[in-house]
A and B are shown apart, each in its own frame.
Chain A
Amino acid sequence: MPTLRELAQREEVLAGGHRACVGCLSTVALRQVMASVPGDVVVGAATGCMEVVTTIYPYTSWKVPFIHNAFENVAATVSGVEAAYQALRRKGKIDHEIKFVAFGGDGGTYDIGLQSLSGAMERGHDMLYVCYNNEAYMNTGVQRSSATPFAAWTSTSPVGTVEVGKKDFPKDLTEIMVAHHIPYVAQAAVHHWKDLATKVQKAMSIRGPKFINILAPCTLGWKYPPEIGLDVSRLAVDTCAWALYEVENGKRKLTHRPREKKPIIEYLKVQDRFKHLLKPENQTIVEQLQKGIDERWNRLIGGQASA
């Protein structure tokens, strides 16, 4: 595992001057991932924030080969690139190793791109799929996705006189990927760079399909001041709203356990997408949220214990 200094000294794959928001943590996720991918690599991205801000023609931030096709198909697109590599390598037209990384937001991964992702993972393409998960459709103006937390405000799950944010709990995409029985699945978060880098390095050392779900808080959609983004990320992990774990060849392992499991309200109160939950009449919703988190956390710990 390289030190932070070593990681910071690696050549940036993403050139500055891109158009991400101030305080954007999805770009941080991108840079952290790419800093841990060794050698030659081809990157694909689904339509979404990261594609839009890094490739406005005639400019590009990408110093490695990059392809964007459409919203729902980055996994299929990169499977095509990887298939081309396998074919041309076999025919002796390429003589060196190339790695493949696909990036999608939660919209392009949990929702519209789920079929394409599932297909690519099942077929066993040698690629790392990274979901930069900011828990809503941020690129199009903060609409709810199936990654959006229960009771969160979004543009399409607004807080009104009869409704108080998103009515449904998010789907557990990471576990859906685990159910694909691929060699490596993990959850990571941007504030814990060492954990994230270790996971990416481990993933890249394995041949076959890999999936990493990275929580990437969004100042715009989560409504917190840009300078506290990494603290928000840390709170997500410390309240166990977002668990840092990996499943390597079916073996489940918590990679970080918070010293003290904080109550969910600590996480909610720093984000205005949850500010309606601070009202006394919405306490039952906070309790529901806490219950959901506790259940999932206990399942995760239990699963680890039995593994």
Chain B
Amino acid sequence: MTNNKPLETLELPATVRPQRVVALTGNEAVAEAMRQIDPDVVAAYPITPQTELMHAFADFVANGKVSTEFVLVESEHSAMSASIGASAAGARAMTATSSQGLALMWEVVQIASSLRLPIVMPVVNRAISGPINIHCDHSDTMGCRDSGWIQIFSESAQEAYDHTLIALRVAEHPNILLPVMVTLDGFILSHTMERLEILDDETVKEFVGEYHPDHPLLDTKHPVTVGPLDLPDFFFEHKRQEVEAQLAAAELMPAILKEFGTVSGREYDVIEEYEMDDAETAIVVLGSTAGTVKSVVNELRREGRKVGLVKIRVFRPFPVRDLVRALTKAEAVAVLDRSIAFGSAGGPVFDEIRSSFFGGGVSPAEVKVLNYIYGLGGRDVKDSDIRFVYDELETLLHTGETGSAVRYLGLRDSNVEQVALRLEENQ
């Protein structure tokens, strides 16, 4: 975990605002961010492990700590539908979900982005059924990776809190106007108590600002039609505009992250490099596992091994150039995927990184890339697993051994690896 030094020992620039040091779970941290944002409308439906986030927010509503219209809908499909209605009406609208809930709202998730509605939705990552499982992996949000939403992954409760505030600014930027998912790993972050720093309410109000919607439905003097039938003569152009919005987000997000840094003292970029300057081998990962990897990197560095980490904070828009620049510092890279893209060449993050390398003119001779599928359905990721990955990367470098590019970490059945090898041979 980052940012765990006591505040008083940090030398902070004068722009950094006062903060409270608190102990909160990830769910409570995000709820706290939502309290400070005080959205006009929150429409939500309970699902493990998002439930406690909504409990905490319900307490804020019940005690008059927010002025939000809290709509307790009968399904996640309606949660997103009501958020769309509220956002189109001109309100600042939020919801939160997990797993099956996100899957159920999948239809309307894409309508939110196509209508360019700046809805912010924390997603507590949980495996997708079946079989049913309530624990963490990234299959839920990966299933929405091409839905037109911006996706920000969190390593810690601190980041989940920070990202929720940042997400508002990104979503509502007039040149972006896209909905944003802020993810936090189910149970690992959502239910784990962590020390974090909370900005004061005034600072948050100032940072997120007032929302000034364009063409809201409730401006009855200037009626608009939202969500018309879009036939072959215009549909394609409108989808292209969504691409432009993602490109605008890629361009504008670093500045918003930087601005948050000047207020909070927590400087973020779309990716985070850790011990990468002279790294020979590197791991790429999303979410809480980055914390585990950092701890292993520290150990291995003490042993004199040149290992590093690249954490992807912003997965959508995918930071192609930043990743190519960071990862080409290493000679061998392991991409850790906490989901499977069935029938694909590898996990979703791996596929995108290999594609980015190819587009960036990086040859396999320059940087070798392996893929490790890990942690599905909440399978623990241990220090020894991460150490094993760095060992394999070093073996790859020293022996040129290739084997299967797609491997499974922490999986009991070794046959699976052989199946992957056979599939690769057949390709």
Contacts and interface: CB of A to CB of B under 8 A. Distances in A.
A40 B227 CA distance: 20
B41 A80 contact: yes
Interface in B110-161: 111
B231 interface: yes
Q: Which residue among A44, A56, A77 has the maximum number of chain B CB atoms within 10 Å of its CB?
A: A77
Contacts of A77: 81-82, 84-85
A56 B69 contact: no
Contact of A65 (B74, B75, B108, B220): B220
B183 to A, nearest CB: 23
Contacts of A62: 223, 225
B234 A58 contact: yes
A83 interface: yes
A73 B217 CA distance: 17
B217 to A, nearest CB: 4
Interface in A51-109: 51-52, 55-60, 62-70, 72-73, 76-88, 90-91, 94, 96, 98
A118 B78 CA distance: 11
Given A64-B223, A80-B41, A56 B81 contact: no
B81 A60 contact: no
Contact of B84 (A42, A80, A85): A80
Contact of A84 (B74, B85, B228, B234): B85
Given A65-B223, A68-B226, A84 B89 contact: yes
Given A116-B77, A116-B78, A66 B226 contact: yes
B311 to A, nearest CB: 35
A115 to B, nearest CB: 6
A87 B61 CA distance: 13
Given A69-B85, A79-B85, A123-B71, A84 B227 contact: no
Contacts of B224: 65-66
B67 A84 contact: no
B93 interface: yes
A67 B68 contact: no
Nearest to A85: B218
B62 interface: no
Contacts of A80: 41, 43, 71, 81-89, 93
Contacts of B68: 87
Contacts of B91: 83-84, 87-88
A66 B108 CA distance: 17
Given A60-B225, A60-B228, A69-B227, A83 B41 contact: yes
A119 B76 CA distance: 12
Nearest to A66: B225
Contacts of A68: 226-229
Contact of B73 (A44, A51, A76, A88): A76
Interface string B214-254: 00011110011111111100100000000000000000000
A70 B43 contact: no
Contact of B69 (A41, A57, A86, A122): A86
A277 to B, nearest CB: 36
B230 A57 contact: yes
Nearest to A39: B220
Contacts of A76: 73, 77-78, 81-82, 85
Contact of B229 (A40, A51, A82, A94): A51
B81 A70 contact: yes
Nearest to B72: A123
A26 B224 CA distance: 22
Interface string A24-52: 00000000000000001110100000011
B165 to A, nearest CB: 20
A76 B111 CA distance: 14
Contacts of B220: 40-42, 64-65, 96, 98
A84 B229 contact: no
A87 B69 contact: yes
Interface string B78-102: 1001111111111101000000000
B40 A91 contact: yes
Contact of A81 (B75, B217, B223): B217
Contacts of B69: 83-84, 86-87, 90
B107 interface: yes
Nearest to B42: A83
A55 B228 contact: yes
Interface string A287-305: 0000000000000000000
Contacts of A70: 81, 107-108, 111
A51 B226 CA distance: 11
21 contacts: A56-B228, A58-B234, A65-B226, A66-B217, A67-B217, A69-B85, A76-B77, A77-B84, A79-B71, A80-B86, A80-B93, A83-B43, A83-B91, A84-B90, A85-B89, A88-B89, A88-B218, A116-B74, A116-B75, A116-B78, A119-B75
Interface of A: 40-42, 44, 51-52, 55-60, 62-70, 72-73, 76-88, 90-91, 94, 96, 98, 115-116, 118-120, 122-123
7 closest Cβ contacts across the A-B interface? A80-B85, A119-B74, A80-B82, A84-B91, A84-B89, A76-B78, A55-B228
Given A67-B88, A79-B73, 18 more contacts: A55-B229, A65-B223, A66-B217, A66-B224, A67-B225, A69-B85, A77-B85, A80-B85, A80-B86, A83-B71, A84-B85, A84-B218, A85-B218, A88-B89, A91-B40, A98-B220, A122-B74, A123-B72
